[in-house]
Amino acid sequence: MNSAATIDTLAQRFGLDPLTSKVLVVGLGNTGLSVARYLKKLGYTFAVTDSRDKPTLMDAFFQTMPDTPLFIGGFDEAAFKVATHLVVSPGLALSEKSIVKALASGAKLLSDIDLLACSVTAPIIAITGSNGKSTVTTMLGEMAKACGKKVAVGGNLGTPALDLLASNVQLYVLELSSFQLERTFALNAAAATVLNLSADHLDRHADMAGYAHEKQTIFNGDGVQVINADDPAVAAMARPDRQCLRFSIKTTADFYLAKQGETEYLMHAAQPLMPLAKLPLEGRHNAANALAALALGSAVGLDTATMCQALQTFKGLAHRMQKVGQIRGIHWVNDSKATNIGACVAALQGYDRKVILLAGGDAKGQDMTELLPVVKEKAKGVVLMGKDAHLIKQALQDCVPIYAANTMAQAVQLAASVAEAGDSVLLSPACASLDQYKSYQDRGEQFAQAVFALLP
């Protein structure tokens, strides 16, 4: 879509006019900077605000937009008062007082995803869910490349959506968070999925019902719904007037698992696609991820055989069920990206034998008793650390031996002292990382360093 057509679409959809509108970009992170670049290119009048005294991207902003107003060190009421439109970065809650007041006074809310959706004619595949969305997004991107498509992959994962814009892109594959979806109104994805739902971000969403409501807005529009038949909350999102493709690792669906003889296959209808054993990722939850990716790719016409070939060489993501190594017969697995209970549960359920679990951090208001059944079934022992370790210990009711650690190095040493040859030690924290680490990546790297320190 050319610039004139994009401007016309934005005017019709959001009343956004280059001559009269005044856009306030709230938050100068990666998303905010991508929005600023986009608005500058199209000639809109805009300003940027950030509550921090010196946003990390301030220098990059001034290098390319030295004349654009930037309000820092708190939210300037005057900037909000004159704004006709707000683009609020996903990291900021819409309950922020200045945002609430501006919207109540008539400012219109839109997102970077809205701007992208109004700027492209190529199909968009949209992926959300509590767990697995980064894996499925990356997996699907690799499938599309294998099929010869010029594909752009990003959104909540990696590159901000607006930085993906290019005239030669044939397919956009976007990971979207609930925070992005709650402020997005123009998305009409060619295919979309909610992979699963479990308690997450309840420090920002009022309750699970509110969280689920934001997630299911990914299905707004008329594209194909890809539905997890194994998750009742997601299954209930299927709309009778829409084409739906269902995936399951428990029952027959459009894409599912089934045995033929002694071999378990990924299936499409009655057709075996590939043996599950050829999927190079640990855990049955990754079989569900593969089936979801196959369904999404099928919905936009990607060749199934080529997608399966791509699956067989897909190595997964860093910090997501990543094999760190084997030392003295003990398998060490880094799942630091498991920042909520659902991700930890999925990781544990993927094992056929009991593991030693390393968990803890910032629980973000989750009900940690949800871990009790799966820990009792799948864990040989648990090493706890971080701010809310005491809450997890209380929730687990000593169902297995529990050990306390103050640091990652201490946690790894404890696990090594308990584990025996043939055991797996799994870092799958079920909690956010920022109580002790810079990020979940930092947490995973410190885990790997502590594991390698065990080498003689």
Catalytic amino acids?
A: 133, 156, 201
- Nearest Cα residue to 114 out of 41, 209, 195, 9: 9
Q: Which of 119, 116, 136, 118 is nearest to 127 (CA)?
A: 136
* CA 277 to centroid of chain Cα atoms: 26
* Distance (Å) of CA 308 to CA 131, 282, 295, 335: 22, 17, 12, 25
Instruction: Let me know: does 195 contact 132? Beta carbons within 8 Å.
Output: yes
Q: What are the structure tokens assigned to 135, written together?
A: 């894996």
For the CA atoms of 356, 360, 323, 411, what is the dihedral angle to 10 degrees?
A: -60
DSSP per-residue letters across 87-150: EE-TTS-TT-HHHHHHHHTTPEEE-HHHHHHTT--S-EEEEE-SSSHHHHHHHHHHHHHHTT--
Helices (H), 242-325: 284-299, 304-311
DSSP state of 84: S
**Residue 171 near residue 300, CB atoms below 8 Å:** yes
CA distances from 372 to 343, 369, 395, 429 (A): 14, 5, 7, 14
> Within 10 Å of residue 62's Cβ, how many Cβ atoms?
12
